[in-house]
Amino acid sequence: MTEPTDADAVADADADTSGPLGPAAGPVPERGRALAAVLAELRAVDGALYAAVAATSTPALDQALRRLSHAADHSKVSLGIAAALSLSGARARRAALVGVAAVAVASASTNLLGKHLVHRPRPDREAARVSTDRYVPMPASASFPSGHTAAAVAFATAVGVVLPEAAVPLGALASAVGYSRVHTGVHYPGDVAAGAVLGIASAAAALAAASRQPNTFTAW
């Protein structure tokens, strides 16, 4: 009977993957790898869409979208519309109030929760060759999710439920605000999509709160 060689010992060590450095048993690592692969591909698609927008020449739109993006800072557009609605009838005033409440929920959720959980860096618009004619100030906060989009969608959704005739124009405006953030180079499309989902959830929360306090909203 021959003595085991060094090569045999190495082979046995390679075959034994049950130790702490080996892969864990079961399907969990496989699922983890699959999820990581899906996320990587989604990031690749997100980056490709951002690059496609940056590479598309739109001089007739650049100024208008830059101004819209500026106007949406601190929800100035939504708050201005709410002020106009407050001068109308009781239903419009209720819509304005619940819309402002939805903006507040969306802003808090974005800035106090979302951006602190996902520390996504802002896009490199110089590397993507975004036209300087589109530039707005690059925020210092994390990129994910888009706070401008969340607030605009929250306002449009909440007001649209109370005041259905306003749903389409406000929805179109919120969509334009979201796109303007990609067009100006400060957000990836995925940031905007996440902001829209957060905006809808924020509107639902504001509407639910309003339904539990009908007297307050009727008296306003």
Write the pLDDT tens digit of every residue in 110-131: 998 999 998 999 999 999 999 9
Please give the pLDDT value at position 212.
85
Please give the pLDDT value at position 191.
98
DSSP for 141-200, please give it.
S--SS-HHHHHHHHHHHHHHHHSGGGHHHHHHHHHHHHHHHHHTTSS-HHHHHHHHHHHH
Please give the pLDDT value at position 14.
45
CB 52 within 8 A of CB 46: no
3-state class of 46 per DSSP? helix
CB 186 within 8 A of CB 122: yes
Please give the pLDDT value at position 32.
86
Check: pTM over 0.85? Answer yes or no.
no
Please give the pLDDT value at position 12.
47
Q: Which residues of the chain have pLDDT under 50?
A: 1-24, 218-220
Please give the pLDDT value at position 219.
42
